[in-house]
Amino acid sequence: MMFTMLAFVAGLVYGYVKPGKEKRWKLFKKGIVYGVIIGILFGFFGFLLGGPLLFAAGAIGMFTNVVFLAIIFIAGTFIGDLLEVAIKQ
């Protein structure tokens, strides 16, 4: 829950501080790439510690968590953009 709120607040600040509209599709693709990389790393460590089952569970779990946090971040940038337009007018 704490990482979700942190991702949302970071997205809110990012959307407000960065001028103009953000390219949300580009942010989402970056989140997927980071999710794959982090998922493979955590899965590899799980494979070393617990075998193939922990590898699969670690990789899939980290990938879904990172993609979920990327979506929350993008939602924060959307609201940050709305606040930027509303406050700066």
Structural domain boundaries, residue 53: 2-87
Residue 25's pLDDT is 86
pLDDT digit string, tens, across residues 14-43:
888 888 777 888 888 888 888 788 878 877
SS3 88: coil
Residue type, 6: L
Q: How far apart are the first and last CA of the chain?
A: 34
Residue 33's pLDDT is 85
Count of structural domains, the chain:
1
Determine contact, residues 66/35, Cβ cutoff 8 Å. yes
SS3 60: helix
What's the CA gap between 7 and 77, in Å, rounded? 10
